[in-house]
């Protein structure tokens, strides 16, 4: 009983820290994304920002999600951190997915620019390790926590994204690559 209380308290503290820090960057990062998108070569960033602009409900959730989804695009990484599928069955879509987030949507219910998400799962080594996590932001926080707890290497095609989450959002560790150091400096100026 006491162990569960300690674990819940720890999870709550980590969650609060993560979300507070993320919220501190929900103004600056979208501004940086917009500046990059205006250069014309960043169609995916443009699409992400258009969806954010079209959103009229639950802005905090969508802003957090857009900030996190935009990181790999802004950092010019070749992979996406998530897959979105319009189906109930998770299993077939985890194949060849070393790690990431799988979002299951119901396109029959249209809720603005996004389909309604009915399940969000964390995938490690082609297996769903957690599901029904509520939203993309919570799932990414859980994925990062799992990677950090079991000391797994970040996927090479998303290493800068996870490094940015570690160094900028969670504020863990001081040493960082030149790309993340540059991002930190730009955030200070925004």
pLDDT tens track for 82-124: 877 766 666 666 777 888 898 887 766 655 555 677 888 898 8
Residue 63 has pLDDT above 90, yes or no: yes
| Distance from the Cα of residue 32 to its chain's centroid | 17
CB 170 within 8 A of CB 145: no
pLDDT in tens, 5-36: 655 665 677 788 889 999 999 999 999 999 99
Please give the Cα distance from 16 to 10 (Å, whole number): 10
Helical residues (DSSP H) of the chain, grouped into ranges: 2-24, 28-37, 43-54, 59-74, 136-149, 159-164, 178-189
Q: How many domains does the chain have?
A: 1
Beta pairing partners, 60:
none
Opening angle at CA 75, ends 48 and 107, nearest 5: 25
Please give the Cα distance from 116 to 57 (Å, whole number): 13
| Domain limits for position 106 | 2-189
- pLDDT computed for residue 64 by the predictor: 95
Mean pLDDT of the chain: 84
Dihedral over alpha carbons 43, 49, 50, 55 (to 10 degrees)? 150
Please tell me the total number of residues recorded for the chain in this structure.
190
Opening angle at CA 66, ends 43 and 162, nearest 5: 95
């Amino acid at each position: 009983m006491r162990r569960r209380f300690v674990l819940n308290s720890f999870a709550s503290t980590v969650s609060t820290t993560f979300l507070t820090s993320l919220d501190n960057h929900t103004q600056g990062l979208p501004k940086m994304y917009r500046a990059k998108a205006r250069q014309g070569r960043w169609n995916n960033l443009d699409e992400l920002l258009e969806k954010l602009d079209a959103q009229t409900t639950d802005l905090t959730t969508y802003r957090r999600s857009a900030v996190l989804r935009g990181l790999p695009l802004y950092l010019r990484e070749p992979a996406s951190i998530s897959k979105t599928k319009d189906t109930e069955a998770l299993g077939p879509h985890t194949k060849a997915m070393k790690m990431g987030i799988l979002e299951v949507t119901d396109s029959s219910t249209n809720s603005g620019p996004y389909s309604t998400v009915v399940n969000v799962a964390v995938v490690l080594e082609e297996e769903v390790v957690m599901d029904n996590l509520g939203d993309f932001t919570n799932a990414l926080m859980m994925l990062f926590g799992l990677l950090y707890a079991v000391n797994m290497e970040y996927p090479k095609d998303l290493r800068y994204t996870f490094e940015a989450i570690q160094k900028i959002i969670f504020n863990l560790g001081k040493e960082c690559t030149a790309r993340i150091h540059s991002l930190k400096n730009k955030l200070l100026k925004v």
